[in-house]
Structure 1
Amino acid sequence: MMQMVGKKVGEGGCSEVFEWGGGNEQIVKVAKGNTIADAVKREFSNSMLVWENGLPAPRPYEFLEVDGRPSIVMERVHGESLMEHFFRYLMQSPSEIDQTDDNEDVIKITARLLSETHRMNNLPLPSQKEMMVHSIRSAGYLSEFEKVQVIEHLKGLPFKKQVCHGDPNPGNIMVRGDHAVLIDWMNASTGNPEADLAEYIIMIRYAILPPHTPSSAVARFDSLREHIIEVFCEEYRRLSGNSLDEVEDWIMPVAARKLCADAIGEEEKALLLAEIRSRL
């Protein structure tokens, strides 16, 4: 099996990504030790379901093990992630930024992909609220009483049955030419679109850039955070025709769910914790 694994082409909080099969059209996502086989099987099942229903997702091919680690063989998306685009933008000099006029268009890509995803209803995906309750209960940082308060708030929110991605961060959006796709459907669910929107808002508002990021880029991102959120929300509202009045109610439970994420550090979790406690 290992002879089919090529060079490493990416890495996230839960997996490493390698070329697969000696060609250039497939990759294999190999789980890290913090991800159990059932979670990878769920990602494969979710990915197959959304791909078969025409949502903007790469094609999954096979669930297997690579060197004893649960893995998924998938279509390779040749292109650039929005994360890579944003970092390149932040690193530009002021004179280069003055010449950049497409950054708002890039922000709108996420709104477009989510509005397209949320139009799909009633796919047999896991329950969003059940997944969130499990994550909140297993997260550290909050006291048991605080967890009960957050879960009671969550259970009181309206119940919907739309397809939600669960992790619409810029690293999970790949752009190839004029098209974009959402990758990493492990946390996909049937539920409330407002949770996806709250996830995006929280991420932009509280994300901590890597420690090697130049201070000028950090300052530029800090100055743009609320503008990015505004552009995203306005585009989603325009495309979906929905008001975003309910999104605010999802900020607290989504932030609580994120406390169990391996991909974010202690500084960001401290910000999320303060946000949660300010709302309790």
Structure 2
Amino acid sequence: MKQIASGKRGRVYDLGDGQIAKYYVPDAPDTALEREVLAARLAHDHGVPTPKVLSVDRDIAQGRVVFEYVSGVAVSWYVLKRPWRLFWASREMARCLANLHTIPDTQTPNLKTEMCKEIDSLSCLTSDTKKEILDQINQFSGPERLCHFDYHSSNVMVSDGACVVIDWGAARSGPPLADLTQTCVINRVDSFPDGTGALMRLVIRALRWLHIELLIAFYSHYSQDHSYASVRRGIRAWQRPIAAARLADDIAYERTALLRLVNSRTSSL
């Protein structure tokens, strides 16, 4: 059994015979397995291109989910090797996300409730700042739709010329523009591969900026509920709460950039 990927919530192994297994790490949240299974099945049943859940084993430590194996490469690496395909990749990612946001969801944890818990737990923000952001979140309204909430170019694969969405461990139900803003924030604060030189950092930074600009434009085109102007307004409104909640993940290389977004009174995305 060969390990092929690892992340904050689990490790992924190739089982052969067209199957992979995700084993959850000991410090993964107790609800991680159930959340991922619910979201992946809901997305798959509504036609989102994502690996099918084949089986769930809750009897072993931390649990295991077996998915169908999908061969391919992450969009992040695909575009880095083929920058001329950025337009296509951004368009297809936007199409997938807009389609995902048409799915009503009352099964996964509530996005606003989860964010409020995460922000309330922070020690790096003052009580006044937290109260201000929590009050802002409680003023948001909108349809409860399935949100991936970790949708970025490393969690979307290119397989047989199409995009496939993976890793539903952070999925939540909530306003779609919060999910899109999370994608923008992740893109803004992401790190660079080890050993990346100064020139390549400039190239990657430019590709990331263009990717998000294209993603927003195409999302506005494919969305049934939002114009380009309303998408931009939504991102401006959600930027601060999203950045604050992400601080709870305690990712060292993101901290400075996230605090800058939290303390900014104008959109930096």
Q: 1:231 and 1:11, CA in 2 relative to 1: closer, same or farther beyond 3 A?
A: same
Q: Percent identity?
A: 25
User: For residue 239 of structure 2, what is the aligned residue in structure 1?
Assistant: 251
User: For residue 200 of structure 1, what is the aligned residue in structure 2?
Assistant: 183
Q: 1:122 and 1:11, CA in 2 relative to 1: closer, same or farther beyond 3 A?
A: closer
TM-score, normalization by structure 1? 0.85
Q: Are positions 1:26 and 2:19 aligned together?
A: yes
Secondary structure in structure 1 of the residue aligned to 2:12: strand
2:253 alignment partner AA: E
Q: How many Å separate the matches in 2 of 1:131 and 1:211? A: 32
User: For residue 126 of structure 1, what is the aligned residue in structure 2?
Assistant: 109
Q: 1:38 and 1:88, CA in 2 relative to 1: closer, same or farther beyond 3 A?
A: same
Q: How many Å separate the matches in 2 of 1:207 and 1:122? A: 28
Secondary structure in structure 1 of the residue aligned to 2:179: helix
Q: How many Å separate the matches in 2 of 1:19 and 1:182? A: 18
Q: Is the 8 A contact 1:166 1:196 kept in 2?
A: yes
C-alpha displacement of 1:167: 0.9
1:209 alignment partner AA: F
User: For residue 37 of structure 2, what is the aligned residue in structure 1?
Assistant: 44
What are structure 2's unaligned runs of at least 5 residues?
A: none
Q: 2:56 aligns with which of 63, 68, 75?
A: 63
Q: How many Å separate the matches in 2 of 1:119 and 1:277? A: 32
User: For residue 158 of structure 2, what is the aligned residue in structure 1?
Assistant: 175
- Per-residue CA shift, 1:36-73, capped at 9, x if unaligned? 33222221222222222332221112222586232211
Q: Are positions 1:158 and 2:108 aligned together?
A: no
- Per-residue CA shift, 1:148-191, capped at 9, x if unaligned? 21111111112322221111011111121132221111222221
1:257 alignment partner AA: A
User: For residue 92 of structure 1, what is the aligned residue in structure 2?
Assistant: none
Q: Are positions 1:142 and 2:125 aligned together?
A: yes
What is the RMSD computed on CA atoms of the aligned residues?
2.1
Q: How many Å separate the matches in 1 of 2:29 and 2:234? A: 33
Q: Are positions 1:189 and 2:175 aligned together?
A: no
Taking the TM superposition and a 5 Å limit, the aligned residue runs for 1:207-218 are 207-218=190-201
Secondary structure in structure 2 of the residue aligned to 1:260: helix
Q: How many Å separate the matches in 1 of 2:43 and 2:205? A: 34
Count residues with an aligned counterpart: 261
Secondary structure in structure 2 of the residue aligned to 1:170: coil
Taking the TM superposition and a 5 Å limit, the aligned residue runs for 1:256-275 are 256-261=244-249, 265-275=251-261
Q: How many Å separate the matches in 1 of 2:48 and 2:123? A: 34
User: For residue 279 of structure 1, what is the aligned residue in structure 2?
Assistant: 265
Q: 1:83 aligns with which of 71, 76, 85?
A: 76
User: For residue 97 of structure 2, what is the aligned residue in structure 1?
Assistant: 114
Q: Is the 8 A contact 2:148 2:168 kept in 1?
A: yes
Q: Is the 8 A contact 1:122 1:162 kept in 2?
A: yes
Q: How many Å separate the matches in 2 of 1:267 and 1:42? A: 27
1:197 alignment partner AA: L
Q: Is the 8 A contact 1:41 1:63 kept in 2?
A: no
Q: How many Å separate the matches in 1 of 2:173 and 2:253? A: 31
User: For residue 10 of structure 2, what is the aligned residue in structure 1?
Assistant: 15
C-alpha displacement of 1:116: 0.8
Q: How many Å separate the matches in 1 of 2:106 and 2:98? A: 16
